[in-house]
Structure 1
Amino acid sequence: MTAAAKPVKPVKPVKPVALDAASLAEALRAAVLAQDFGATRDPQDDGRPIRHFPSIDLAVVAFPEEGAPVAANVLFSREHPEGLVADIAADAGPVRNIRYLADQRDADGHSIAWRPTSDWSAMDWVPLAGESGDRVVAPYPASLLKLMLLAGVGRLVDLGRAGWWQPLTYAGRERAVSDWAYDMVTWSSNEATSALVTLMHAAGAIRRDGGREVRNELHTLFASLGLTTLRFANTTAEGGWGNGSGSGVGQIQMTAWDTVRLLWWLDPVAPRAPWLRADAPRLSPESRNQAMHALQDQALHQVLSSSALGGVPGWVPGLPARLPGRWLMPDGGLHAGEVSLPGDLRRFATGGEVWFAHKTGNTENYTSDAGIVRGILPRRRHYLIALLSNLGSRYAPHPDCSTTWRIPALGAAIDARMAAWLES
Structure 2
Amino acid sequence: MHRARRLGPVLASMLAGVVLASGVLTACEADAKPEPERSAAAPVVPETPANPLPSAAPGTAGPDAARSAWLGKRLREIVDDQRFGDVVNAKTGRRPPAVPNVDVAVIELDDAGRPVAAANTLLSQDHPQGVAVPVTTDLSAPGVRWTHWSNSAWAAKKSTEPLLTGRGGAPLEFMTPYPASVFKLIVAFGVARLADQGGVRYDEVYDYRPRKATCPDGRKPGKHPVSWWLDAMITYSSNTATCALLMMLHERDGIDPMNGALRSLGLTTLRVVDTDPADGGGWSFWGLTMTALDTSRLLLLFTDAPGTLWRTPKGDPVTTEVLSRSSRAVVRKTLQEQGLNQALSTANWCGQDYPAQGIPHRVPTRWTDRATGQVRVEDRRYTGDVRKCADDAEVEFAHKTGLVPSAGADAGIVTALPGAKPRRYVVSVFTNLGCTYVDFVGAYGGQCRYTQKLATLGAAIDALMTTTAGRPTAALSAN
Q: TM-score, normalised by structure 2?
A: 0.75
Structure 2 residue identity aligned to 1:384:
V
CA distance in 2, matches of 1:419, 1:19: 18
Aligned residue in 2 for 1:89: 136
Structure 2 residue identity aligned to 1:222:
L
Higher Cα Rg: structure 1 or 2? 1
CA distance in 2, matches of 1:378, 1:19: 30
Q: CA deviation at 1:162?
A: 0.9
* Identity over aligned pairs, percent: 33
Aligned residue in 2 for 1:127: 162
CA distance in 2, matches of 1:90, 1:278: 12
Structure 1 residue identity aligned to 2:161:
V
CA contact (8 A) 2:115 2:309 kept: no
Matches within 5 A, 1:271-420: 272-276=308-312, 277-278=316-317, 282-310=322-350, 314-329=354-369, 330-379=371-420, 380-396=422-438, 397-398=443-444, 399-400=446-447, 402-420=449-467
Q: CA deviation at 1:271?
A: 5.4
Partner-residue secondary structure (3-state), 2:436 = helix
Structure 2 residue identity aligned to 1:148:
I
Q: Does 1:112 align with 2:152?
A: yes
CA contact (8 A) 1:295 1:358 kept: yes
Q: Does 1:256 align with 2:305?
A: no
Partner-residue secondary structure (3-state), 1:358 = strand
CA distance in 1, matches of 2:426, 2:118: 9
Q: 1:313 to 1:375 in 2, by over 3 A?
A: closer
CA distance in 2, matches of 1:338, 1:295: 19
Q: CA deviation at 1:287?
A: 0.8
Matches within 5 A, 1:32-181: 32-43=79-90, 46-65=92-111, 69-92=116-139, 94-104=140-150, 111-113=151-153, 118-121=155-158, 125-129=160-164, 130-131=167-168, 132-170=170-208, 171-181=220-230
Aligned residue in 1 for 2:43: none
CA contact (8 A) 2:408 2:430 kept: yes
CA distance in 2, matches of 1:309, 1:264: 28
Structure 2 residue identity aligned to 1:28:
L
Partner-residue secondary structure (3-state), 1:73 = strand
Q: Does 1:266 align with 2:302?
A: yes
CA contact (8 A) 1:311 1:342 kept: no
CA distance in 2, matches of 1:113, 1:326: 42
Partner-residue secondary structure (3-state), 2:85 = helix
CA distance in 2, matches of 1:64, 1:19: 16
Q: CA deviation at 1:279?
A: 7.3
Structure 1 residue identity aligned to 2:248:
L
Of residues 144-153 and 80-89 in structure 1, the stretch that sits farther from structure 2 once superposed is 80-89
Structure 1 residue identity aligned to 2:73:
E
CA distance in 1, matches of 2:249, 2:133: 33
Q: CA deviation at 1:68?
A: 5.9
Q: CA deviation at 1:315?
A: 2.5
What do the CA deviations read for 1:393-415 (whole angstroms, capped 9, x no partner)? 12232245621111101110110
Q: 1:98 to 1:278 in 2, by over 3 A?
A: closer
Structure 1 residue identity aligned to 2:388:
R
Q: Does 1:29 align with 2:76?
A: yes
Q: CA deviation at 1:200?
A: 0.3
Runs of at least 5 residues in structure 1 that lack an aligned partner in the other structure: 1-17, 105-110, 207-215
Aligned residue in 2 for 1:3: none
CA distance in 1, matches of 2:457, 2:376: 26
Give the total of aligned pairs: 381
Structure 2 residue identity aligned to 1:310:
C
Q: CA deviation at 1:229?
A: 0.3
Aligned-residue CA RMSD in angstroms?
2.1
CA distance in 2, matches of 1:262, 1:333: 32
Q: CA deviation at 1:423?
A: 5.3
Aligned residue in 2 for 1:222: 262
CA contact (8 A) 2:310 2:317 kept: no
Q: Does 1:188 align with 2:237?
A: yes
What do the CA deviations read for 1:156-185 (whole angstroms, capped 9, x no partner)? 110111111110112332100000000100
CA distance in 2, matches of 1:97, 1:190: 34
What do the CA deviations read for 1:225-267 (whole angstroms, capped 9, x no partner)? 11000010111112333xxx3x321210000010001011222
